Structure 1
Amino acid sequence: MTPVRPFLVIGAGLAGSSMAFELARRGHPVTVLDAAPRPAAGASGNPAGIFMPVPERRPSPREALYLEAFRWLGRLLDGPLSGVPHRRCGVIQLPRDARQAERFADILATRSDLYPLVEAGADLLPAAARTHPHADTALHFPQAGWLSPAELCRHLLAGPGIETRFNQRVTGLERGGDHHWIVHCDDGSSLRAREVVLACGPDCAALPQAAALPWHRVRGQITRIRLLGIGTAGKVLTGAGYLIPLDSDEALVGATYRRDRCDTAPDPDEDEENLSQLARLLPDLHGRPEVIGSRAGLRSVLPGRLPVCGPLPGTDRAGLWITAAHASRGLLTAPWCARCLADAMEGKTGTDALDRLLQPGRFSPEPAAD
């Protein structure tokens, strides 16, 4: 009979890698299983992604989540994750429409408490964006930037105390004796663990213990282009789509958002969609950028577009946890949720407002009144 491991994480994308890293750095040995032959094989394998706060007109639990997550990622990049390729080059966010422009103007006028996380960005826009219809209310996040999710996952899993097992798809979970879980894999093997974390993105929905959550799969495609001399001063632009300058003449643009497809084959039509979004960001862009590559991936999303982080509800599910549905903000939320979940697994008290915001039980029906 296999030994009972203390901690087992299912998934080696952003959520699972972050969870394994957080447990291991607290001294807990952890085993990571993934169906793919390498880490970050899904949507977490993109070559670059944006990290930035998400300010709102008025303080809210959602804003607090993103601000705390942004600050936490910054501390990690200043410390144990300093070797991960990243650039804090600043992010300029252009409003998508008049309604968002009004909201951005209010943020600039009333949210001085966010300084220096956000400031006016109109004067920093590249020439090709200055005729954008809402350029005067652009926000600049000077401490934000981009990093490589794929490299982040590899770095997170490389530390001591983490055992990785690839090409092992989990097919089922069952409660074992002596307060542990039995994890069954498609190669016929089984592992036992006292605590199990589901962090396998869209594949969480295939496991009965998590199937009741209202999952959606979303396909996103990014497009790699040559910049053709667009002067961005190295800053990321976002709004209707985004532009991430990677080096002197290449950039990533994206991303599509499709609920009607569950494959990951790159589609030239979605490249065209990304280029159309780029033209909205840069109204004075001359010429068609050369497409030199593309990549598509699937993400899990839940109503409200917030992740789930916490114990799976049910009296028979002690020791079964989940961190998933990080969608397009996983660079921020996955490391932060890993910290919160590790605290909970160690019996530490969390923040009530954030716990309520992210708990898996928030989708359960309210009990009927007596």
Structure 2
Amino acid sequence: MKQHHARLVWSEGAPLSESFGDYYCSLADGIAESRYVFIDGNKLTERCKDELASGLTIAETGFGTGSNLLCTLDTLNQLSTSHLHGSHFISTELHPLSYDDLKKALAQQPQFQHYTKQLLEQYPPYIQGMHRFTFDKGRFYLTLCIGDAAASLQRIDSAIDAWYLDGFSPAKNPAMWSQELFSHVARLTKNKGTLATYAAASFVRKGLIEEGFEIKKKPGFGKKRDMLIGTIAKPKTATAPTKLPWFTLPKIKKPSSAIIIGAGLAGCTTAEALARRGIKVQLIDRHDDICQEASGNRQGALYAKLPTKPTLGGELHLCGLEYTLRLLSTYQCLDNRIASQCGVLQLATSEKEALKQNAIASSGDYSSDVVSLKSATEASQIAGTPIAHQALFFPRAGWVQPKAFCEKLTEHPDIKLTLSTSIISLTQTADQRWIVLDHNNQEHTADIVIMASAVHAKEFEQLNHLPIKKIRGQVSISETDDNQDKLKTVICGEGYISPPLNNLYTFGATFDLHDQSPQIREADHKSNLTMISNSASSFASQLPNPNHWSGRVGYRCSTPDYLPIAGPAPVASAYIEQYAKLGDDKNWRFKNTPPELHKGLYLNVGHGSKGLITAPLMAEYLASSICSEPLPIPREISQALHPARFIIKSLIKGKK
């Protein structure tokens, strides 16, 4: 099925699904219906008064216009201004409303304006996968899963307190109300967890009972005779998705303190995600300022290069781009000084690339709000300079000045910067606190440590097994000229060039695995000029002579599979011993016992040249995992990023 937004018609002032012939809410009073069926049906008001220690996790099938979310946030906000901090709302939607339709629908609910504004500011185009929203600086979270409801639930392992089984009428949309969906609902429900639904069809009631729910009828809303409420009693052992024991994530007590080593993009975004959750963070770096290594370039291109067909990596990059945009918006960075959503043109400078772009554009796998194919003439108009190639245009993309972005993120009272400090060792005490020893023989202690120091992570005994390497890259910087074309968008081909910032163009970058020299080289300037010439020859010809350029050398941290490393640090020797049988049989059935990990030690490294779209989402993922919250990425992606994956791959290949 090709992706598309919901197709609506407006009838009696309310949105009606053209595909399913059903209204999104009651014509009598949709807000009253939401409160009666879902909030009262799950007894949330009473439960919130009793459960003062932490927030709730609520899940919904059928996001629709977002009315249930807004109703719930408003209710929780009225119940308490403190103890429900960190409540999560998870929702699925196969055909989300377009931005314009959502804005029109929510305009009819002015009482929720505070949350409506935040929802609309973070709302993505149609991108299949999981999207994490933040409300009120982390007081509430939404994880919107775009895709089939059952398939989306199959990808998560969150423990749910209460369910809103919504969606269109079972008579009009029976495919959603499936036994498979009920099975996942049961699998994910906490002990004593509840559900509520306006649906009262007998097959819905019987299906939920079969999965272990005690189901009762109660009077329905308005003219509807009945609805269903339920409590999990004896959960049926659902056929859970295959779990690979070596990728099990640890459950730890929420820490009160953390040390992050490395104050680049990965370290600063991780510090922000933890501090937002009330954890005191010490951010340590060996340089005298933040973002002095790979994150120190003046401008970085912010966009996701798409695979021809959707892949896990492509999903990670697109959802990561959207998360970074939300973070930039939240911290008011899209000001054309710190960041700009000016769009990105990815040029087809070869026949092979043109064929790939044609396949992407014609596949129907990507929304036109995400990417569209442009002719050379159209690309020239967008760029503001002659372009001789067709291009893919990413209207939501742009550029970011990483250091300025990170300065915004680390302006938090719970983040302490410790600069000009090199860390030489990590040790753990008997009570499992971490001691970090610096070059001045000073000890720093915390409950957990997150390593965000790129290739320097390998310098520590616990992490010397990581197969990471550094790749040298030189960017060039040239002054603008009054007679020169002024670029209006980022241009990417073999390299990239961004619109000018403070009258300077930044472009590049070289890619050198074998030469690690920190010196600025004229040969690399010429190489960058050649790359720009292949993309936009007219513009390149207007640049000053390379002899007048400045530049910067940085080192990307790369992994063998070009995906980041994010998650708990494995004890490599224990993994090799525990899973040695994989060398004989990759399908060996191990006891589902957790692997040995360095408790409280985590990684956020290996972002290569994609850090702007992967590091912030990985930071949110780590913070969610550390605090035992619902994750912002699906299980398969979590496993694909696990720091132990290279150990497991080596064992399967017979290498130890």
Greater shift, 275-284 or 324-333, is seen at: 275-284
- Report the Cα distance in structure 2 between the residues aligned to 1:171 and 1:94, rounded to whole angstroms: 45
**Structure 2 contact 487–498 (Cα < 8 Å) conserved:** no
What corresponds to 1:213 in structure 2? 466
Closer, same or farther: CA 242–307 of 1 in aligned 2, 3 Å: same
Residue of structure 2 equivalent to 1:35:
286
Deviation of 1:130 after TM superposition, in Å, equals 2.9
* Residues 88 and 144, structure 1, Cα contact 8 Å, conserved in 2: yes
SS in 2 for 1:9: strand
Deviations 1:130-158 (A, max 9, x none): 33xxx13x100111101101111222212
CA distance 1:316–1:286, shift in 2 (3 Å): closer
Matched, 1:124 2:407: no
- Please state if 1:226 is matched with 2:494: no
Amino acid in structure 2 at the alignment position of 1:273: S
Within a 5 Å distance, the mapping from 1:79-158 to structure 2 comes to: 79-82=330-333, 85-111=338-364, 113-122=366-375, 123-125=378-380, 126=383, 129-131=386-388, 135-136=389-390, 138-158=391-411
Distance 2:568 2:283 in 1: 18
**Contact 2:331–2:409 (CA under 8 A) maintained in structure 1:** no
Give the aligned residue type for 2:379.
Answer: L
Shift of 1:287: 5.0
- Aligned match of 1:293: 550
Equivalent residue for 1:364, pick from 620, 642, 647:
647
> Any residues of structure 2 matched to 1:161-310 within 5 Å, and which?
161-228=414-481, 229-231=483-485, 233-247=487-501, 250-284=504-538, 285-286=540-541, 289-290=544-545, 291-310=548-567
Contact 1:129–1:281 (Cα < 8 Å) also in 2:
no
Tell me the amino acid that sits aligned with residue 265 of structure 1: Q
1:306 alignment partner, SS class: coil
Segments of structure 1 that go 5 or more residues without pairing to the other structure are none
Q: Residues of 1 paired with 2:436 and 2:347: CA distance?
A: 46
1:235/1:193 CA distance change after superposition, 3 Å: same
Q: Does 1:59 align with 2:313?
A: no
- For the pair 1:10 / 2:261, whether they are aligned, the reply is yes
Paired with 1:324 and 1:96, the residues of 2 have a C-alpha distance of 31
CA contact (8 A) 2:256 2:278 kept: no
Q: Return closer, same or farther for 1:325/1:316 CA change in 2, 3 Å cut-off.
A: closer
Report the count of equivalent residues: 362
State the alpha-carbon separation in 2 of the partners of residues 80 and 68 from structure 1: 19
1:312-341 CA distances to partner (integer Å, 9 max, x unpaired)? 112250100000011111111111100001
Partner of 2:82: none
**CA deviation vs aligned residue, 1:143-175 (integer Å, no higher than 9, x gap):** 110110111122221222101100111111112
Taking structure 1 as the reference length, what is the TM-score of the superposition?
A: 0.92
For 2:464, give the aligned amino acid: A
Whether the 8 Å contact between 1:214 and 1:302 is mirrored in structure 2 is: yes
Compute the TM-score of the two structures, normalised by the length of structure 2: 0.53
Counterparts of 2:597 and 2:345, CA distance in 1: 47
Classify the secondary structure of the residue corresponding to 1:114: coil
Match of 2:211 in 1: none
Say whether residues 1:338 and 2:593 are aligned partners. Answer: no
Rounded Cα–Cα distance in structure 1 between residues aligned with 2:486 and 2:306: 23
- Which deviates further from its counterpart, 104-113 or 336-345? 104-113
- Residues 467 and 560 of structure 2 are in contact (CA less than 8 Å); yes or no, is this contact kept in structure 1? yes
Q: Kindly tell me: are residues 162 and 287 of structure 1, through their superposed partners in 2, closer, same or farther at Cα, counting changes over 3 Å? A: closer
Q: CA RMSD in A?
A: 2.1
Structure 1 runs of 4+ aligned residues shifted over 6 Å read none
Counterpart pick for 1:313 among 563, 570, 587: 570
Q: Deviations over 1:199-253 (max 9, x none)?
A: 0112112112111111111111110113454435411100111111214853111
Q: AA paired with 1:355?
A: S
What is the aligned counterpart of 1:325 among 602, 606, 616? 606
Contact 2:347–2:493 (CA under 8 A) maintained in structure 1: yes
Contact 2:568/2:597, CA 8 A, preserved across alignment: no
Aligned counterparts of 1:299 and 1:248: Cα–Cα separation in 2: 25
**Which deviates further from its counterpart, 206-215 or 227-236?**
227-236
Instruction: Give CA-to-partner distance per residue, 1:1-33, whole Å, 9 cap, x none.
Output: xxx972110010000001001111121111111
Question: How far off is 1:187 after superposition?
Answer: 0.9
Q: Which has the larger radius of gyration?
A: 2
Distance 1:32 1:319 in 2: 16
Which range moved further: 39-48 or 350-359? 350-359
Task: For 2:318 and 2:516, locate their aligned partners in 1 and report how far apart those are by CA, in whole Å.
Answer: 32
C-alpha contact 2:357 2:373 (8 A) present in aligned 1: no
Q: Is the 8 A contact 1:225 1:252 kept in 2?
A: yes
The CA distance in 2 between the partners of 1:127 and 1:89, in whole Å, is 12
Question: Which residue identity lines up with residue 525 of structure 2 in the other structure?
Answer: D
Matched position secondary structure for 1:318:
strand
Which 5+ residue runs of structure 2 have no aligned equivalent? 1-254, 572-595
2:257 and 2:447 in contact (8 A); partners too: yes
Partner secondary structure for residue 221 of structure 1? strand
Percent identical: 27
* Partner Cα distance (1:255, 1:113) in 2: 28
